Structure formats: C-alpha cells, structure tokens
C-alpha cells in the first residue's frame, strides 16, 4: 500500500474535497448493515408477508430494513393510539355493558397505554441508529415489542372470555387482530435490522453470583437484622451481608406493621409514598413488612421503579385475597398482588389467593414488571396461581402451589432452585404445571425451570400431573436439572385442544432427575425435544433473562449458567 501511494500524483484541493465527501458517503452507507430492498423482499421475512406488503408500501429504491422497521413502528404507534381512543369510546357507553365487559375493556385500556409507551420508547431507539444495538439494548427493545404482542393478546382473551353477551365486541376484536399483525411485523423487522446476532453466551461453565443476602432461606425475623445492618453513608443506606460482604444500596426504608408500631399499617399506604421513577444509582426504596396476615390487594404501578419489599418470612408475612373469574373478575385482574414497576424485588413473603379450585382462574401474583426478582417467597393458589405475564422475571428459592396451569403467561421467566407443589384440583380435572403463552416466533419469551423440585402437595392424591400444555401457538417451556417425583405422568406433556400447537411449540428437557424425569415414554410431538448443554445454556439466567445486568444489584444469589 505504501509503495502504491508513493507513485500517485499530487491531489489538488477540490479533488481532495470530492474524495473526502465520497468517503463520508461510503462510510454512512456501510454503517447500514442491510442493503436496499423491495417491500416484497423485506416482507417475506415476517410472519404475515401479504399484510406487510399492503401495510408498509415504501416506494423508495434506496429503502432498507431499517427504513421499513421505522415506518412499521410509526404505524404501530398510530394504531395503538387509535385503539386506545376506541376503548375510551366504548367505556363511555358502559351503562349498556355487563360488568364483565367493562372490566375486560378496562384491562384493554390499561394495556393499550402500556403499548403506546413501549412503542414510543422503541421508536426513539430505532430512529437514531442504522446499526446493530448493544446486546442489552437489543434485548430491551425485543422484550418491549414481545410484550406489546402479549398485551394485545391479553386484551383479546379478556374480551372473548367475559363479553359473550356484548353485541359490539367484534368492533373491538377486528382492529385488534390487525394491530397484532402489525406489531408482529414490527418485531420481525426489528429482529432482522437491529437485533444482535448470536448475542447470547454459549458457555456451559456454571458461575455463581452471591451478593447481599446470605445463602438459603432468610431468617424468619428480619426486624433486628434490618435495624442492625443499616448504616448511613451520605444520603444513602446500605444493606449488607452479616459477614460484611457486598452491599445493596437503599435510598430509604419504611416499616409496615399491623399493630401501629411502624410507619404504616397497610402495604398500599407505604407504596403510595415511594418515589416515582427512581434510578439505579438512587438505590431501592425498601418497605419492610412485619409478620401478619395482610388482607389487601396490592398493586405496584409502573412508575414505582426500584422498589423492594422484605417480609418476615414465608407463612409469616402473608398477603391474601380471593378474587376469581367465577366472581366476575378477569383473570388479569383477579390477582392478590400485581406488580408492573421495573426492577422490583420481593423477599420473604407469601402471596395467596384463597378462592379455591371451585372458583377456577384465581391469580395470586400477576407480574408484568421488567427485570423483577422474587426470592424466598411463596405463591399459593389453585388454577392460575402465578401469572408471569410479560417482560423479564427471575424467581429464586420460591414455593409455588397450584393445580391447572398454575405457572402461566408470556414473560421471559426463569425459576431457579424453586419448589413446585401440584395440589388437588376439582373432580375430573388434571394438573398442568405450566401453560406458556408465546404467540409469535420472534418473541424472546418462555418459561425456564432450572434446578427445581417437583413434588406432590400433601392433598394431591393420584391426580394426573403434567409438565405443561400449549396455551398458545409457539408455547415454549424448558426444564433443566430439575427433580421430578412420581407424580409426573410418563407422557410428560398434555395437549391443549386436539393437535393445536403440538408442532409449533418448543418443549424441552435437559438433565433432569427423579422417577418422573424418564423421557422414554414422552410425547412424540415434533415440538418436544430432549436437548443438550449447548442448547440448554441459552435458557440460563445470564442468557435468557440478562441476569448479569440486573441481579447483582438486588442482593439475591443466582447461578448464571447451568
């Protein structure tokens, strides 16, 4: 190169300017990872090619996947706003609707608002770059776009389930169906244009993070511990291990006690005074809830970032309710405890729904909180106990009791070192531990169950119990290194309805143990797999829920790998 350069003729100023301009143009073009493409070419990579072609017709020979992606997200924002307006219009006529229809529409109203927020955040990101994003940012956007599809499907399910006598429901369902296709196209184009290829770590070497709390169950009585380990450091406080180890930053602490000795007597009062939209550097707003049975419906709204609740222990600090579908609630709003605030942490509490098997769907916890963590907690119910609704979630050393589909939803969720206790359902029912709700192959969602124990609750008897069944078309559930007792049926998995989703779902088992783990008599669906460590590592804490990015600050122990 140097020899060639030495033989070149001198370059005048105008020529140098033109060459510089060309270089700038070339560098700008090269930063766009994908070359220009026609609508037909771009749309073939989406689940709905013909819908895509009719919806995003860009007549520009230089347009590439980024241009189509931005156009699709902008159109999605417009559609989400139109749908929110439509829901508001129907709710203004609520005097003509049943209670069930009103509640389903109120769910849709809330979910439409969340979708607008997520789409707006997505557009702010994709409008600024033509190149692949960082691993975390890419996962953030894919997670939000995945949740938008989940939210829309939740709205559809609620209307279909509770509005049978509502004559105008098709006026809501029809635009929703189109919106779902548009959101799916947006997700596909994002994954193709901005997604990080092979962005997950493919190492089966286990590594362990252990920060903040000591290993195993926390002490049943936290009051003396909380008093002892808080130290003022400037304007912040630190919760640290008993041996002086790593620390969790706390911005403030309030105490909830039913006897009046704390700052508040209800959890809801404490949540209401927590700061809005705190940042990681601010630390957690800690609510310590002393032992007692709290009969209240707890809802932690989306603006209460970095909130931590610590109780006195499982079966000591208990939050309980009894809402159910039979009593007129939607599944979505039947929950005793609802959290949608990102970076939420709960430790040492029990959450119950006492409606019983006879009341069918009755949720204990509904979690739609991104990067949320539950440690040493118990969730008790029957049908639909734990609603892992959306976004990224982590559960460590928790106990989960239930019957039909008792772990369900469409989050990217990892349950690690947990105890799963199938219990006695209604007569004629069988138990399915999971009912995962992935509706689109582009979603980064699924239920991963690692190093857990599946044993019968005391009342189970001889009820047939299965690892899961496909609630939606691309249902995805993985069991890894988990002990399965004799209660698990030899076939392992159960159909939802006929052959629905048996070939499109992804059900996998890896290195499980116990008498129920024998895969020799498992179902023969093409969607069922016995996987190896190379595949299983994709569903670990570090890879599946981006655990290394948020779990260390929580103080909760976790295993990043297998």
Check 107, 157, 370, 384 and give the catalytic one.
384
Task: Establish whether 384 is a catalytic residue.
Answer: yes
Check 312, 370, 405, 440 and give the catalytic one.
405
d(CA 423, CA 403): 6
CB burial of residue 40 (10 Å; 0-12, 13-18, 19+): exposed
d(CA 401, CA 381): 6
Cβ pair 73, 123 in contact under 8 A: yes
Cβ pair 422, 487 in contact under 8 A: yes
Q: Read off φ and ψ for residue 203, nearest 5 degrees.
A: -115, 135
Place of tokens 């809830």: 289
d(CA 524, CA 480): 19
d(CA 407, CA 422): 11
d(CA 148, CA 269): 30
d(CA 132, CA 190): 10
Task: Establish whether 485 is a catalytic residue.
Answer: no
- C-alpha triplet 117, 121, 123: angle, nearest 5°: 120
Cβ pair 437, 403 in contact under 8 A: no
Cβ pair 282, 316 in contact under 8 A: no
Place of tokens 């992606």: 69
d(CA 506, CA 493): 11
Cβ pair 546, 136 in contact under 8 A: yes
d(CA 289, CA 235): 23
d(CA 230, CA 464): 49
Q: How far is CA 365 from CA 50, 70, 101, 332, 554, in A?
A: 40, 36, 23, 10, 20
Q: What letter does residue 361 receive in the DSSP assignment?
A: B
CA gyration radius for the chain? 25
Q: Which two tokens stand for residue 213?
A: 């709390």
Active site residues: 384, 405
């Amino acid at each position: 190169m140097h020899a060639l350069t030495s033989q070149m003729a001198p370059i005048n100023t105008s020529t140098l300017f033109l060459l510089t301009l060309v270089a700038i143009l070339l560098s700008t073009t090269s930063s766009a990872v994908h070359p220009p493409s026609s609508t037909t070419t771009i749309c073939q990579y989406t689940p709905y090619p013909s819908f895509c072609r009719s919806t995003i017709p860009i007549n520009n020979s230089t347009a590439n996947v980024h241009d189509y992606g931005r156009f699709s997200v902008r159109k999605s924002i417009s559609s989400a706003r139109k749908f929110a307006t439509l829901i508001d219009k129907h709710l203004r006529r609520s005097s003509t609707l049943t209670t069930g229809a009103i509640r389903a529409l109120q769910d849709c109203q809330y979910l439409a608002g969340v979708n607008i927020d997520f789409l707006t955040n997505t557009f702010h990101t994709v409008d600024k770059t033509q190149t692949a994003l960082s691993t975390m940012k890419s996962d953030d956007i894919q997670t939000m776009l995945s949740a938008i599809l989940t939210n829309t499907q939740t709205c559809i399910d609620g209307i279909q389930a509770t509005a049978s006598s509502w004559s105008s429901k098709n006026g809501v369902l029809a635009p929703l169906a189109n919106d779902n296709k548009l959101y799916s196209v947006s997700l596909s184009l994002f994954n193709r244009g901005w997604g990080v290829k092979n962005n997950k770590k493919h190492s089966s070497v286990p590594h362990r993070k252990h920060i903040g709390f000591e290993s195993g169950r926390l002490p049943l009585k936290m009051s003396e511990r909380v008093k002892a380990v808080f130290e003022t450091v400037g304007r912040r406080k630190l919760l640290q291990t008993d041996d002086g180890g790593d620390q969790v930053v706390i911005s403030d602490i309030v105490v909830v006690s039913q006897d009046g000795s704390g700052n508040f007597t209800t959890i809801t009062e404490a949540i209401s005074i927590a700061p809005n939209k705190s940042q990681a550097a601010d630390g957690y707003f800690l609510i310590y809830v002393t032992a007692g049975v709290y009969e209240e419906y707890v809802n932690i709204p989306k603006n209460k970032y970095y909130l931590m609740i610590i109780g006195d222990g499982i079966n000591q600090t208990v939050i309980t309710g009894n809402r159910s579908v039979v009593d007129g609630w939607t599944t979505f709003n039947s929950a005793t405890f609802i959290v949608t605030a990102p970076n939420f942490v709960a430790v040492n509490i029990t959450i119950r729904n006492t409606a019983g098997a006879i009341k069918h769907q009755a949720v204990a916890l509904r979690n739609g909180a991104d990067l949320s963590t539950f440690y040493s907690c118990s969730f008790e119910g029957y049908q639909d106990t734990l609603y892992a609704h959306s976004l990224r979630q982590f559960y460590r050393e928790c106990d989960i009791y239930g019957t039909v589909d008792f772990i369900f939803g469409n989050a990217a969720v990892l349950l690690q070192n947990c105890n799963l206790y199938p219990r006695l359902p209604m007569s004629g029912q069988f138990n399915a531990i999971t009912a995962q709700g992935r509706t689109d192959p582009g979603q980064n969602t699924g239920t991963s169950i690692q190093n857990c124990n599946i044993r019968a609750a005391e009342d189970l008897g001889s009820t047939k119990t299965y690892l899961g069944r496909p609630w939606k078309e691309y249902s995805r559930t993985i069991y890894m290194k988990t002990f399965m007792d004799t209660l698990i049926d030899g076939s392992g998995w159960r159909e939802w309805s006929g052959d629905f989703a048996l070939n499109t779902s992804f059900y996998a088992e890896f290195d499980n143990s116990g008498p129920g783990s024998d895969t020799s008599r498992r179902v023969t669906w093409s969607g069922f797999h016995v996987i190896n460590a190379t595949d299983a590592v994709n569903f670990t804490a570090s890879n599946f829920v981006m655990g290394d990015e948020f779990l260390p600050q929580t103080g909760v122990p976790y295993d990043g790998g297998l």
